[in-house]
Amino acid sequence: MQSTHPPHPPASWSFPPGARSCPLIIAHRGDVSGAPENTLPAFSGAHRRGADGIELDVRITRDKQLVVFHDRALKRIAGRRGLVSNATLDEVRELDAGEWFAPRFRGEKAPTLDEVFELLPPGYLINVEMKAVIDNMRLIAHRVADVIRRHGRWGSTLVASFNPISLWELRKIEPRIMRAYIWSRRHPPPIRSRCFSPLVQAHWYDPADGSYNPGLMRRIRARGVRTLAWDIDFGGDLSRMAAARLDATVTDNLEPLLRQRRKLAG
Q: Dihedral of the CA atoms 188, 192, 195, 201 (nearest 10)? A: 120
Q: At what angle do helices 254-265 and 40-49 cross, to 10 degrees?
A: 20
At 27, is the secondary structure helix, strand, or coil?
A: strand
What is the Cα–Cα distance from 236 to 240, expressed in whole angstroms?
A: 9
Cis before 190 (ω within 30): yes
Compute how many other C-beta atoms are within 10 angstroms of the C-beta atom of residue 79.
12
Per the DSSP assignment, residues forming a β-bridge with 157 are: 126
142 is catalytic: no
List 28, 47, 142, 187, catalytic entry: 28
Which one from 5, 8, 70, 142 is the annotated catalytic residue? 70
Angle in degrees, CA 174, 132, 44, rounded to 5 = 75
Q: Residue 104 is which amino acid?
A: R
Residue 258 one-letter amino acid? L
107 conformational bin, left if phi > 0, alpha if psi -120 to 50, beta if neither: left
Between the CA of residue 9 and those of 49, 127, 137, 228, what are the distances in Å? 13, 15, 33, 17
Residue 54 near residue 158 (C-beta atoms within 8 A): no
28 has catalytic annotation: yes
| Residues 6 or more apart in contact with residue 75 via CB below 8 angstroms | 81, 82
Which residues are marked as active site? 28, 70
